[in-house]
Amino acid sequence: MGVRGLVPFCPWDWCLLLATLQCCGASSELNRSTDSSAQRELNVRFAAASSQPAEAISVFTLDYDYVQIPYEVTLWILLASLAKIGFHLNRRLPRLMPESCLLILVGALVGAVIFGTDHKSPPVMDSSIYFLYLLPPIVLESGYFMPTRPFFENLGSILWWAGLGALLNAFGIGLSLYLVCQVPAFGLGDVNLLQNLLFGSLMSAVDPVAVLAVFEEARVNEQLHMMIFGEALLNDGISVVLYNILIAFTKMHKFEGIEPVDILAGCARFIIVGCGGVFFGVIFGFISAFITRFTQNISAIEPLIVFMFSYLSYLVAETLYLSGILAITACAVTMKKYVEENVSQTSYTTIKYFMKMLSSVSETLIFIFMGVSTIGKNHEWNWAFICFTLVFCQIWRAISVFVLFYVSNRFRTFPFSVKDQCVIFYSGVRGAGSFSLAFLLPLSLFPRKKLFVTATLVVIYFTVFIQGITVGPLVRYLDVRKTNKKESINEELHARLMDHLKAGVEDVCGQWSHYQVRDKFKKFDHKYLRKVLIRKNLPKSSLVSLYKKLEMKQAIEMVESGVLSSTAFSTPHQAQRTKETKRLSPEDVESMRDILTRNMYQVRQRTLSYNKYNLQPQTSEKQAKEILIRRRNTFRESMKKGHSLPWGKPAGTKNIRYLSFPYSSPLPAGRDMKVAEFTDHDGSDSEPPPIMFSTHSPKESIQERRWAPEVIPMRSLHRAGTPPHFGYRRNASREEHLGRGGRAILRPKPLFHAVDEEFESEEESEEEAPAFGSLLSSELRPGRDCNLSHSPLLQRK
Amino acid sequence: MGAAHSASEEVRELEGKTGFSSDQIEQLHRRFKQLSGDQPTIRKENFNNVPDLELNPIRSKIVRAFFDNRNLRKGSSGLADEINFEDFLTIMSYFRPIDTTMDEEQVQLCRKEKLRFLFHMYDSDSDGRITLEEYRNVVEELLSGNPHIEKESARSIADGAMMEAASVCVGQMEPDQVYEGITFDDFLKSRKNPNVRAQLTSTEADGRGSMLRSGSHLRGHHDLAGHRHRDQDARPLP
Q: How far is B105 from chain A (nearest CA, A)?
A: 24
Enumerate the residues of chain B whose CB falls inside 8 A of the CB of residue A224: 207
Q: What distance in Å separates the CA atoms of residue B117 and residue B202, rounded to the nearest whole number?
A: 19
Predicted local confidence at residue B144, as pLDDT: 74
Band of the pLDDT at A524, cuts 50, 70, 90?
A: confident
Residues 6+ apart with CB under 8 A from B201: B209, B210, B212, B213, B235, B237, B238
User: Is A194 exposed, middle or buried, given 0-12, 13-18 or 19+ CB atoms closer than 10 A?
Assistant: buried
Instruction: Compute the distance between CA of residue B210 and CA of residue A531 in angstroms, rounded to an integer.
Output: 43
Asked if B157 lies within 8 A of A743 by C-beta distance, the reply is no
Residue B182 pairs in a beta bridge with B130
CA–CA distance, B183 with B191 (Å, rounded to integer):
13
Element (H, E) at A627: helix A619-640
**Residue A400 confidence class, pLDDT cut points 50, 70, 90:** very high
Q: What is the ipTM of this complex?
A: 0.75
**Interface contact A578, partner B, CB < 8 A:** yes
Residue in A22, A452, A464 with CA at minimum distance from that of residue A246? A452
User: CA of A509 to nearest chain B CA: how many angstroms apart?
Assistant: 6
Chain A: residue whose CA lies nearest to B204: A481
pLDDT of residue A378: 76
**Would an 8 Å CB–CB cutoff place A581 in contact with chain B?**
yes
Pick B204's closest partner by Cβ from A219, A647, A709: A219
**Residue B137 contacts residue A788 (beta carbons within 8 Å):** yes
Interface contact flag, B143 A714, Cβ < 8 Å? no
In whole angstroms, how far apart are CA A703 and each of A669, A670, A788?
11, 8, 12
pLDDT digits (tens, 9 = 90+) for A531-582: 777 776 544 334 444 445 555 665 665 555 544 333 333 333 333 333 333 4
The torsion angle over the Cα atoms of residues A179, A184, A189 and A195, rounded to 10 degrees, is -20
Contacting residues of A for B236, CB less than 8 Å apart? 498
Gap from A592 CA to chain B (nearest CA, Å): 6
Q: Which residues of A91-119 are buried (b: 16+ CB within 10 A; e: fewer)?
A: eebbeebbbbbbbbbbbbbbbbbbbebeb
B151 or A689, greater pLDDT: B151
Decide if B210 and A417 are in contact by the 8 Å CB cutoff. Answer: yes
Interface contact A789-B137, CB threshold 8 A: yes
Q: Is the pLDDT at A623 greater than 70, yes or no?
A: no
On chain A, the residues whose CB falls within 8 A of the CB of B140 are 788
Strands (E), A203-340: none
Single out the residue of A43, A24, A16 nearest to residue A119, CA to CA.
A24
Q: Does A643 touch chain B (CB under 8 A)?
A: no
Instruction: Choose among A220, A489, A575: nearest Cβ to B160.
Output: A489
Please judge whether B214 and A417 are an interchain contact, meaning their C-beta atoms are less than 8 angstroms apart: yes
Q: Distance between CA A158 and CA A164 in Å, rounded?
A: 10
Inspect the interface and report whether the beta carbons of B147 and A715 lie closer than 8 Å: yes
- Chain-centroid distance of CA A584 in Å reads 39
Largest CA distance in chain A: 112
Confidence of residue A32 (pLDDT cuts 50, 70, 90): very low
Residues of chain B in contact with residue A716, where contact means CB-CB under 8 angstroms, are: 150
Closest residue in B to A155 (Cα–Cα): B225
What residue type is assigned to position A167 of the chain? L
For residue B118, the chain A residues in CB contact (below 8 A) are 494, 497-498, 501
Task: Please give the angle made by the CA atoms of A318, A267 and A171, to the nearest 5 degrees.
Answer: 100
How far is the CA of B167 from the CAs of A330, A486, B160, B163, B184, in angstroms?
58, 16, 11, 6, 16
- Whether residue B219 and residue A412 make contact (CB cut-off 8 A), yes or no, is yes
Q: What is the mean pLDDT of residues B32-59?
A: 78
Query: What digits encode the pLDDT tens for the residues B84-131?
Result: 888 888 888 887 766 666 677 887 888 888 888 888 888 888 788 888
Residues A9, A90 contacting (CB under 8 angstroms): yes
Rounded Cα gap, residues A148 and A336, in angstroms: 9
Q: Does A420 touch chain B (CB under 8 A)?
A: yes
Chain B CB contacts of A517 below 8 Å: 226
Residue A159 DSSP one-character state:
I
**Cβ contacts of residue A580 below 8 Å, gap of 6+?**
A660, B163, B166, B167, B173, B177, B179
**Total length of chain B:** 238
Cβ neighbours of A717 in B, within 8 Å: 147-148
User: Any chain B CB within 8 A of the CB of A502?
Assistant: yes
**Nearest CA of chain A to the CA of B38: how many Å?**
15
Residues 6+ apart with CB under 8 A from B49: B35
Contact A461, A107 (CB under 8 A): no
Q: What angle do CA B115, B118, B120 make, to 5 degrees?
A: 110
Q: What is the pLDDT of residues A431-462, one digit of tens each?
A: 888 888 888 888 888 888 888 989 999 999 99
Give B79's strand partners: B68
Helix (H) or strand (E) holding A366: helix A345-374
Q: In whole angstroms, give the CA distance from residue B207 to residue B204.
A: 5
Q: Which residues of A touch B35 (CB under 8 A)?
A: 508, 510
Express each pLDDT in B160-219 by its tens digit: 777 777 777 776 666 666 677 778 877 777 655 433 333 333 332 233 332 232 222 333
Q: Using CA coordinates, name the residue in chain B closest to A493.
A: B139
A773 close to A559: Cβ distance less than 8 angstroms: yes
Cβ <8 Å between A497 and B58:
yes
B130 forms beta bridges with: B182
Q: Does A430 touch chain B (CB under 8 A)?
A: no
Name the percent of chain A lying above pLDDT 90: 10
Q: CA–CA separation, A376 vs A112, rounded Å?
A: 8
Closest to B185 measured CA to CA, from B87, B119, B121: B119
Chain B partners of A155 at a C-beta cutoff of 8 Å? Answer: 225-226
Count CB atoms within 10 A of the CB of residue A783.
Answer: 16
Mean pLDDT of the residues in chain A: 67
**How far A587 CA sits from the closest chain B CA (Å)?**
12
Average pLDDT over residues A488-510: 71
Q: In this complex, do B137 and A222 lie within 8 Å of one another by their Cβ atoms?
A: no
Q: Distances from the Cα of A186 to the Cαs of A51, A177, A391, in angstroms? A: 67, 12, 16
Nearest CA in chain B to A793: B125
| φ, ψ at B179 (rounded to 5°) | -100, 115
Of A405, A167, A607, A331, the residue nearest B225 (C-alpha):
A405
CA dist., res. A699 & res. A794, Å (int): 9
Check pLDDT > 50 for residue A382: yes
Q: Which of A504, A604, A659 sits opposite B159 (nearest CB)?
A: A659
Q: Which amino acid is at A183?
A: V
pLDDT score for A612: 57
Interchain CB distance below 8 Å, B190 and A488: yes
Question: What's the pLDDT tens digit per position in A222-243?
Answer: 778 888 888 888 888 888 888 8
Per-residue confidence (pLDDT) for residue A735, from 0 to 100: 40
Of the candidates A221, A517, A725, the beta carbon closest to that of B208 is on A221
| Chain B environment of A785 (Cβ under 8 Å) | 59-60, 141, 144
| Span B209-220, pLDDT tens digits | 322 322 223 333
CA torsion sign for A426, A431, A434, A439 is positive
Amino acid identity of residue A16, one-letter, is: L
Determine contact: A498 vs chain B, CB below 8 A: yes
Nearest Cα residue in chain B from A714: B147
Residue A112's pLDDT is 86
Using CA atoms, how far apart are residues B179 and A193, in angstroms rounded to an integer? 79
